[in-house]
Amino acid sequence: MLARLLRAEEPSVFSHGPWEDIPNAELPTPPLRDGWGQAHMQVSTRVPRAQAYFDQGLRLLHLGWGAEARRAFAEAARQDPGLAMAFWGLALTRGAGGRFAAERTEAIRQALALCERATDLEQRYVVAASLLADKGPANGRQSFVREMEYLLSLYPEDVEARLLLAGFLMDGYEASGRPCPGQSYAQSLLREMLRTHPHHEGVHHAWVNAWVDSARPEMAQDSALRLVALVPEVGPALLGAGRLLQRIGLTGEARQVLQRAVEVDDAYLAQETLPAHAAPSAELAMRLLVTGCAEAGQYGEGQVWARRLRARVEGQGDGQAVVLSACVLSGLHLRFGFWRAAAEVHGELGEGAAVAERALLDGLRLYTRGLCALETGKLFEAERACDMLDALHTAVSDERRAEGRALCPRDVARVLETASQELRGALEARRGDSARAEATLIRAFRLERRLRAAGPAPFSRSARETLARVRLRFGREEKALELALGLVAERPGSGHARLLVAEARAGQGDFAEAGRDFSRFLELWRRADAHLPELRRARSFVAGRGHPLRLVGSEPPPPVGNTEGPVSGLGG
C-alpha cells in the first residue's frame, strides 16, 4: 500500500532493509512466483517476461512488500529498458524520506523520458507519480490526488488506479478514534471495489488495513480470511490478516495465520539464501504471537516465541533488533507481573550503537528496576528511576530525526516519557496520593495513545490498565469499570482485560455480573498455564469461595529455555 511505503509508517525490527544500498540496475533477479496474487495491468511492452515481472511488482506494491516489488520492477526494466511503467514502479518503491530522493527522481525522470511509447493511461500514471517524486508525499499530496481523480474520470474501470489512490489516502485514525483526513474517502473507494472485484488480493489487503486500527475492525474479518486464501505465500498479507484476527478476538485463527507468516518468510529466506533481515514479516509476526500468548495466559509459549525472536536477530549486527527483541521478552514478563524476570533481560550493544537504541535499552532497564523497587517498598529508589527516565527523555528529545527503518529518537523519547509517567503514577498511588496518581496516569494514558505506529512499541505496562487498578484501589469502581470495558472493546480476546472488568464489577458489588465475567475470562484462558494465580482466583470466585481483590504475585516458574540466569518473582 502506498500510504505505508511512502510515509515510512511500517514498523520494523531491523534498522536496514534488504538491498537498500544497491542501485536498481544491480538488484538480483527474482523468480516469478505463484501464490503472490493475480492482479494484472496491461503495459506497453512486447516482452512477455517484462509484463510478468511488472505484474508481480504491482501485486507486491498493493500488498506492501516494497523491497520485493522493487526487485520485480527492476527486472521488468531489464527485460524491456523502454518500459516506462517499470521505472514508475521503481520510483514508488523507493519509499519515503530524503535518503533515496535522488533515486526516486532519477527513476521518474526515466519514466517520463519513455512516455512517448506509452499509452495515455500509462502517461497519466507517470505524471501523477512525478508529482510525488518532485514534492514528496506530504507536499505533493493534493496534486497527486487530483491527478489520480482525473485519471479515474477518464478511465473509471481501472481498478489498479482506484486501489493505488485508496492506498495513498489511508491516513489512519486520531488518538480519539476519529478518522484522519482521507481515511473515509479511501474506505468508500474500497467498499465499491469489494463489490466489483471480490477476488483482488490488493483490495482485501487495503480493506483490512483500513479497519484494523478502527473502533470496528470486525468490518474486515471476511477480507482477512479471504486474504489468507488468495495470497498464502505473501508474508505481509498474512501479517495484516493475522493482526486483524487477533484484534477482533479470534485468537486461534490469528495464531495459525501468524505462524504461517513466519513459515512463509523462512521458506523465502531459504530459497533466496538471504539473511534474516530480508524477511518482510516474520519478526513482526513473532511479536504478535507473543502478544497473543500473553492475552491467552500462555506465559510459557510466549517465552518460546520471544526467545526465538531473540535468537533470530542475534549475530545480525543490528543493535535496533537486539533492543526491540529484548523489549518483547521483558514486556511478556511484565504482562504477568514478574518484575524481576523483566529486569533480568539483558541486551548488549556495540560501541557504535545509535543514540535511540541505547536510550531505549537504558529506559527499559530503569523502568523495570523502578518496578522492582516499588514492589519491595523502596519508594526512594522508584522515584529515582522516574527522575532518570525523565532526564533520559529530555536528552533524547533533542536528537535529530531518523529516516527509513531506523529508530527515531523522538519516537523513543515519547516511549520513555510514557513509561516515566506510568511508573510515577504507580508510585504516587503507593504513597496514597490518589488525586496526583490519577492525574499522572491520565497523562500517561494520553501519551500512550499518541505513540506513532511506526515507532517502537511501549515497553511499559498499559497506562490505562494501571489507572483502572488505581481507581479500584481508591474506591472508584465505576470509573475503573469504564476503562476496563474500553480495554475489552479494543482487545476482546485479552483475558487480562476481561479479568479487570470482572474485578471492577465485583468491587461494585455486582457479583452476578462479576461471576459471568470471571467465567468469560476462564473461557479465554482455557489453555492458559495452570500455575498462573489469575486462574486460581477466578475459579475460586466462580465457585463462591473468594472475593476478587487486586491481583497478587507469585513465584513464577523458570522461564522456558532460560539463558539469562535465575528468575524470581515477587510476592503480592
Give tens-digit pLDDT for 45-64. 999 999 999 999 999 999 99
* Percentage, residues of the chain above pLDDT 90: 81
State the average pLDDT over residues 289-301: 98
**Confidence check: pLDDT of 10 > 70:** no
Distance CA 175, CA 517 (A): 28
Cα four-point dihedral sign 22, 25, 30, 32: positive
Q: What pLDDT score was predicted for residue 561? A: 45
> Which residue among 473, 494, 518 closes a domain?
473
Decide if 503 contacts 534 (C-beta within 8 A).
no
Let me know the angle formed at the C-alpha of 406 by 401 and 409, rounded to the nearest 5 degrees. Answer: 40
Binned at pLDDT 50, 70 and 90, residue 544 comes out as confident
Binned at pLDDT 50, 70 and 90, residue 139 comes out as confident
Q: How many CB atoms lie within 10 A of CB 504?
A: 28
Q: What pLDDT score was predicted for residue 567? A: 37
Q: What pLDDT score was predicted for residue 346? A: 86
> What's the number of domains the chain is made of?
2
Distance CA 217, CA 243 (A): 10
Binned at pLDDT 50, 70 and 90, residue 404 comes out as confident
Of 441, 389, 437, the closest CA to residue 414 belongs to 389
Task: Assess if residue 570 is contained within a domain.
Answer: no
Q: What pLDDT score was predicted for residue 552? A: 38
> Which residue among 175, 193, 227 closes a domain?
227
**Confidence check: pLDDT of 548 > 60:** no
Q: What totals of helices (H) and strands (E) does the chain contain, helices first? A: 26, 0
Distance CA 254, CA 139 (A): 38
Cell of 170: 489511508
Integer CA distances (angstroms), 218 to 214, 243, 246, 247, in order:
9, 12, 11, 9
Decide if 28 contacts 71 (C-beta within 8 A).
yes
Binned at pLDDT 50, 70 and 90, residue 401 comes out as confident
Cell of 2: 502506498
Mean pLDDT of the chain: 91
**Confidence check: pLDDT of 371 > 60:** yes
What is the domain extent for residue 420?
354-473
**Do 217 and 365 lie in a common domain?**
no
Top pLDDT among 60 and 98 is at 60
Task: Assess if residue 459 is contained within a domain.
Answer: yes
0.85 surpassed by pTM: yes
Whose cell is 535465575? That residue is 566
Q: What pLDDT score was predicted for residue 427? A: 98
Task: Assess if residue 516 is contained within a domain.
Answer: no
H/E element, 321? helix 319-335
Task: Assess if residue 322 is contained within a domain.
Answer: no
State the average pLDDT over residues 105-122: 96
Please tell me the number of Cα atoms within 13 Å of 353 on its side-chain side. Answer: 18
CATH at residue 162: 1.25.40.10
Tell me the sheet residues that pair with 179.
173
State the average pLDDT over residues 446-461: 91
State the average pLDDT over residues 303-327: 94
Q: What pLDDT score was predicted for residue 379? A: 97
**Do 27 and 168 lie in a common domain?**
yes
> CB under 8 Å, gap of 24 or more: what pairs does 531-534 form?
531/556, 531/557, 532/297, 532/299, 532/336, 534/297, 534/495, 534/496, 534/499
User: E-strand spans in 154-220?
Assistant: none
Distance CA 75, CA 26 (A): 10
Q: What pLDDT score was predicted for residue 512? A: 94
H/E element, 489? helix 477-490
**DSSP secondary structure letter of residue 280:** S
State the average pLDDT over residues 198-211: 97
Distance CA 44, CA 50 (A): 10
> Which residue among 227, 246, 281 closes a domain?
227
Distance CA 70, CA 79 (A): 14
Tell me the sheet residues that pair with 173.
179
Q: What pLDDT score was predicted for residue 86? A: 98
* Percentage, residues of the chain above pLDDT 70: 92
Binned at pLDDT 50, 70 and 90, residue 568 comes out as very low
H/E element, 368? helix 355-375
Task: Assess if residue 62 is contained within a domain.
Answer: yes
State the average pLDDT over residues 28-38: 94
Of 389, 376, 277, 286, the closest CA to residue 332 belongs to 286
Task: Assess if residue 347 is contained within a domain.
Answer: no
Residues 6+ apart with CB under 8 A from 451: 411, 414, 415, 418, 457, 458
**Do 25 and 165 lie in a common domain?**
yes
Cell of 227: 486474504
Whose cell is 501464490? That residue is 35
Distance CA 212, CA 223 (A): 11
State the average pLDDT over residues 287-307: 98
**Do 220 and 364 lie in a common domain?**
no
Binned at pLDDT 50, 70 and 90, residue 9 comes out as low
Whose cell is 541505547? That residue is 358
**Confidence check: pLDDT of 534 > 70:** yes
Of 507, 547, 555, the closest CA to residue 531 belongs to 555
Task: Assess if residue 160 is contained within a domain.
Answer: yes
Residues 6+ apart with CB under 8 A from 54: 41, 43, 45, 72, 73, 76, 83, 85, 86, 89
Distance CA 345, CA 364 (A): 9
Task: Assess if residue 243 is contained within a domain.
Answer: no
